[in-house]
Structure 1
Amino acid sequence: MPRDTLTRDQIIRTAIELLDAEGLEGLNMRSLGKRLNSAATAVYWHVKNKDNLVLLAGDQVWDEITLPDLRTVDWRTAGTSMAVDLYAMLGRHPWLVQAFGSHLFYGEGKARHDDHSLAVYEAAGFAGAQADQAAGAVFTFVLGNALSASAAASLTRRLSRDGGNAQELLQDTMTRATEIAMRFPRLRGRLETAGAADYAGAPEESFEFGLQALFDGLEDRLAARPAQGGAA
């Protein structure tokens, strides 16, 4: 595909597909050019370098999150919807979780999401820095929950690239981790109840439980403000 038929949108969409399949470590201009049926040099007419491409791809995926209409739903319903959508988006694009450690993301997609997130917590009754803190608490909770799946995807790809059987290597690691865990009473009790296969995973519905507990806490802070002279 000649450079004059390529568009930035095509490049970004294809980069997202490559990142989803191969992770951050699998993204390079040669592989991207091959997917685009174009020379790698043609890509540079539209993006500066790999880091710039990651930023562009990372910003576009934020548009996958639905922004609820605060005129039709209450703040907690809106906040829950956005958090669940964010969690699902990070699950579809686990490379983005990795990229947070090495890139500072910005752009219209993320800004639109962040602005609406602040609107949700302002609608709840938080103001100024408190709205930022509420939005940040929910965001970091979601990000933390997405980290495990992102790490597992990255590790599986790395083990596969190293020429080993990823499933066997992961199973061997879990066997050794289980042997150590059996020395501790609470972990041993969990293993005896849930089984070794579930040792590394959270119980079902843990994300939903934690998210609603977090919103309960935010509501409690709002309810307590009059008794504290308006302080949250």
Structure 2
Amino acid sequence: MLPTFPSLLLVSALCCLVGETSDAYGGGAAGYSNRYISTFIWLDKLGMAAKLGLDVVVRQTLFKGFYGLIDNDYEPTPNYWLSVLYKTFVGPEVVPCIVASSRKVRLYCHCTRKDFKVSSVTLFGLNIGNVDSLVRVEGLKDSRQTFDTIYSYILSAYTTLYSKNIYLNGELLMLDSNGRLPYFKPILIDNDLHVLIPAYSSAFFVIPTKLAACQ
């Protein structure tokens, strides 16, 4: 009996266009497309597609080849987990933001999904540099105020960028014996305007705010 996986439909923005995508031609690149290193391209593609007005981004394939979200052993690939995190926290509404940062850091802003516990904005992005990046968040509140609690979700490889495993806040991501998703436990950042994206990692920061566009 084949395992079952939660379905994925990656809705990126309020528009009417659909794009089909992969990260390499002809079935993907062996040792790359189904490894942690390919998550940087995938996350940046999701953020950029939404920013450019694409409504839905569809993977070339769910299974088979090297760019499938499920590998030939029926195990979720790092891009599967990245897609699940994106679908969990990133809502369809793009929040305009100005990013001043290193060329090795890409950041995007969306309203958080409506089913999250509080009204919030999700800041997400990646750091392909070899040093940690400290990001100062401005504009969501008065500059003299701090945020109540920021929910931080950091994705990393822990060993090599070519790993088939991916970690969330230091914990290996894996389905349970019944094929269910784990609980995505955040790191809580209290009363600070800064968030840290470690070297060679991706991140989702859920920032509670009463931004009118996200009500």
Smaller-chain TM-score range?
Answer: 0.3 to 0.5
TM-score using structure 1 length: 0.33
Instruction: Select the structure with the greater relative contact order (CA < 8 A; seq sep ≥ 6).
Output: 2
Larger Rg: 1
Which is richer in strand? 2
Which is richer in helix? 1
TM-score using structure 2 length: 0.35
